[in-house]
Amino acid sequence: GAVVSQHPSWVICKSGTSVKIECRSLDFQATTMFWYRQFPKQSLMLMATSNEGSKATYEQGVEKDKFLINHASLTLSTLTVTSAHPEDSSFYICSARDRTGGYLDTEAFFGQGTRLTVV
Amino acid sequence: DQQVKQNSPSLSVQEGRISILNCDYTNSMFDYFLWYKKYPAEGPTFLISISSIKDKNEDGRFTVFLNKSAKHLSLHIVPSQPGDSAVYFCAASALDSGTYKYIFGTGTRLKVLA
């Protein structure tokens, strides 16, 4: 299957600093990328949807000024957690969908996730 | 409001037997369903999917059944193997603001006993 690479796999940062997480589709072009957050023993919660060259669409309750998303190219999307606080500690996962997918081809491929710990 | 529900947080099955994981949904606009397998600290791995125009899809040991009238889908794994032990998420997809988005269930932790 297609490969989505997420970097870094884990990061520890001080409270008040910003952290950038990268998501790359390695062997396909991704028109759409998604960012999820997973709390322990809970589901993957969609945070935002980003389309290449346009502003991200955020889900209700997600602060767009805190979680900055940039989808600068068809193979790269970044999530920046600004002014991080301990409550932002979580597992963040990106996924990407192949732009060649048709109407029923809505399979998305996931990165390996990033464990963020804010101390 | 949880649109996709997996009511069993965990399931234990003996090796070689069948594992049945269940998922219920409430939104009739969902038209594509997927199952993902996830290990701790890793991203989900796609397993199998089914379109709403079908009621069954099979891939090797994995079969997904969809009952649209009951808004229920299930994943059957047979025979179950110890390597199948993981958390399984079902996801439902619907068009939202021009983009297909996934809504995930809360997951079921499957443990296959040797």
> DSSP assignment of A18-53, as one string?
-EEEEEEESSS-EEEEEEEEE-TTSPEEEEEEEETT
| Pick from A43, A111, A112: CB nearest B107 | A43
A104 pLDDT above the threshold of 50: no
- Tens digits of per-residue pLDDT, B59-87? 999 999 999 999 999 999 999 999 999 99
Q: For residue A106, give both structure tokens.
A: 């809505």
What does B32-55 look like in DSSP terms, one character per residue?
EEEEEEE-TTS--EEEEEEETT-S
Percentage of residues of chain B with pLDDT beyond 90? 75
A1: pLDDT confidence band, cut at 50, 70 and 90?
low
- Tens digits of per-residue pLDDT, A11-33? 999 999 999 999 999 888 888 89
Nearest to B32 by CA among B108, B83, B106, B94: B94
A103 pLDDT above the threshold of 50: no
- Average pLDDT of every residue of chain A: 87
Residue B32 in contact with partner chain A when CB distance is under 8 A: yes
Q: Which residues of chain B have pLDDT under 50?
A: none
Residue B40 in contact with partner chain A when CB distance is under 8 A: no
The chain A residues in contact with chain B (CB within 8 A) are 1, 4, 6, 9, 32, 34, 36, 41-46, 49, 51, 57, 91, 93, 95, 97, 104, 106-113, 115
- Tens digits of per-residue pLDDT, A55-71? 899 999 999 999 999 98
Residue B107 in contact with partner chain A when CB distance is under 8 A: yes
Contact B43 A4 (CB under 8 A): yes
